[in-house]
Structure 1
Amino acid sequence: MFVLRRTDLLEAANITHIISVLRGRVDHKLIEPYATTGRHLHIEVDDDDDENLIEHFQTTNDFIDKATQGGGSVLVHCAMGISRSATICTAYLIYKRQIPSEVAMEIIRQSRPIICPNLAFRRQLEIYSENLEQALKNLDDVPAYQRYLYRKEVEMSRLAHKAPTINHYAEDESNEGSEVELKCRKCRRTLALSKSFVDHYAASPPVASSSRDRMLEAVGLNKSKCQHHFLDPVVWMKAELEKGEMEGKLECPKCSAKVGSYAWHGMKCSCGIWVTPAISLAKGKVDVSRPRSTL
């Protein structure tokens, strides 16, 4: 942000617009020429893993587009020009060139080698680049983004020792795009679709009793030991999950058979993996089936 004081450098670089990506007030005297003419955009976020920067990408992309299409140039700054501003510039390259996030960051490093977005911002950039077409239409409709928000909310609530507020539930009725269904073994009611499955091998570190087991589980070779299917929240679970309890049992919404359990603080799967948060259906209580093709 110190370059804001170097008006000579800003003029030499044809800086016509400024994006400030930092929490708190920006020195009014420094940005007044831009702010009074609508050429300053302030995104108030900290360089923190809890911040949601992806929700601002469309605003910053549109702002940069308008400036450059008018023949101008944009200074994107945060405090040190390492994490927040680099994330915004990376998002713009993803949007403009439709390239993966790592490729976009490498392009920026050619001009500023010290950039290093924090891990949360990197994950948000990955979600954005991998779901760009859908994100440009409506970010809230991107399942990966909703899962990201859910997991952040669960983590914050877990640290506060309380149940999370869930804003998104996966559907359990539409077969479109679903490769596998989990059905209640007793009444055959569909309980979950494959798009709501959680691969705990990819998300959690192995906890095993021997070095051999640790090696096998680390590469996902002991899945036969699993006694659970882990899921993101599904709509039929809403009444139970919103009771505010840290853990509890799950019953089939049709026949009331006990089919699983949940624990926001996590649980250890029988395969040796600790899963947090844990919403599970017992394999002995459900059947796996594949939807028939619709002709």
Structure 2
Amino acid sequence: MEKKVEVEVHASSSLDDENLDISVDLIDDGLYLGNLACAHDHKTLEKLKITHILTIDLVPLPRTILDRPNLTFKYVKLADVPREDLISHLPECNDFLKQAICDNGSVLVHCYFGVSRSAAVVIGYIMEKYSLCYEDAFALVKSKRRFIGPNIGFVAQLKLFGHMGYKINKDDPRFKQFRLKMAGQKLKQIKILPQLFADLVKPDPGIIHERPDPIVYRCKKCRRIVASQNNIIPHIPKQVKIELAKKGIRPPPSKLTGLTCAENGQLLIDKLKSLACQIINEDAGASTVEEDGASPQVLDGYNEQNMVDSSCKCPCGQKVAPAFYLVPSKVEWSNIVQNVQITV
């Protein structure tokens, strides 16, 4: 652990690769954190006995480096911006690092400067290896490489990674919200929902299922199922959130038993493929009722964009995005027995 290569902070205003000084530090046994220049320098790689290279950048390493013998590479395409999805790559990156070190190899993790993206990945690895929170893992890595600084988005994702037990838990409320925001951003950029996020658009809860959800919500006017318990998005009431923030407390919604609006009558639901009713005000129970009085139609007009890229403000004052709001007085709760009786 005492072994260390001289660190030179890059201070040039040019972004040409040739102007980068070699910068690399030993963070943990067999784990180095450095910049692009280090990954390009064959002598440095030989001196450190590097066997594996993990690249976190917008472009992979050139073929002249990838063709070198006795080196194993992994590439993750990632920009150094807060909205990038880092957390989804952490498990696979950690597996790569663990396998390399387990095989008695030495790994270089790098991005362009070795400050934000690669540092975030290394912090995620240290968090999992030593069961540390973000703050402690950051302090440990910073003690080895003084000028690291993951951007604010990566910091939030690393904290979420720790909250989920250093793994991806798709049922975690915070992770659900994170993925919904990611999907909305991608949709704005490319005008189509990527297949990666297809599971976020939930199936119509009104369709007959072999195993009906134990708790559903029905429109009092048309009697159609508009949501199930699994569609409810728990969130902290705004006033409670303010009070907790004053005390420096930010617990996850899943642990705020009795404090979430979803448990106190306010219903915000995630995105569904179709809805028979939108319950949006005190004057109408359904916004899709035909003028001639026919039954409400399924909202075919709700395309992927407005299903994902939308938000609403809960009566508690907290804005939740993306979500639909169901007025409690316009829906009724139905348990599993009632659900089976009606849907069969």
1:41 counterpart residue number: 74
Query: In the alignment, what sits opposite 2:149?
Result: 116
One-letter code aligned to 2:183: E
Match of 2:323 in 1: 278
Counterpart residue number, 2:129: 96
Give the aligned partner of residue 311 of structure 2.
266
Whose helix proportion is higher, 1 or 2? 1
Match of 1:191 in 2: 227
Q: Deviations over 1:179-205 (max 9, x none)?
A: xx5633735968332773241646xxx
The TM-score normalised by the length of structure 2 is 0.57
- Contact residue 158 and residue 164 of structure 1 kept, 8 A: no
CA distance in 1, matches of 2:127, 2:240: 37
CA contact (8 A) 1:269 1:275 kept: yes
2:269 paired residue number: 231
Give the letter for the 2:102 counterpart: Q
How many pairs are equivalent?
Answer: 252
Larger mean CA deviation between 61-70 and 21-30 belongs to 21-30
Structure 1: where are the runs of 5+ without partners?
Answer: 176-180, 203-214, 242-247
TM, length-normalised to structure 1? 0.65
Aligned letter for 2:331? V
Q: Return the alpha-carbon distance in structure 2 between the equivalents of residues 159 and 190 of structure 1.
A: 30
Q: Is the 8 A contact 1:19 1:42 kept in 2?
A: yes
Computing the radius of gyration from Cα coordinates, the structure with the larger value is: 2
Distance across 2 between alignment mates of 1:145 and 1:265:
18
Separation in structure 2 between the aligned mates of residue 163 and residue 12 of structure 1, nearest angstrom: 47
Structure 2 residue matching 1:18: 3-state secondary structure: strand
Amino acid aligned to 2:179: L
Q: Is the 8 A contact 2:173 2:234 kept in 1?
A: no
CA distance 1:126–1:43, change in 2 (3 Å): same
Q: More deviation in 44-53 or 281-290?
A: 281-290
Contact conserved, 1:57 with 1:88, CA < 8 A, in 2?
Answer: yes
Task: Give the direction of change, closer, same or farther, for the CA distance of 1:155–1:28 in structure 2 (3 Å limit).
Answer: closer
The one-letter amino acid of 2:324's match is: I
Question: Does the C-alpha gap of structure 1 residues 182 and 200 become closer, same or farther in structure 2, counting only changes over 3 Å?
Answer: farther
Q: CA RMSD in A?
A: 4.2
- In the TM superposition, 1:42-61 aligns within 5 A as 42-61=75-94
Matching residue's letter, 2:233? F
User: Deviation of residue 96 (structure 1)?
Assistant: 2.1
> C-alpha deviations, 1:154-188, integer Å up to 9, x for none?
2444578x79676225687545xxxxx56337359
Q: Could you say which residue in structure 2 is the equivalent of 1:152?
A: 182
Change (3 A) 1:66 1:133: closer
Do structure 1's residue 84 and structure 2's residue 117 form an aligned pair?
yes
In 2, Cα distance between equivalents of 1:163 and 1:116: 33
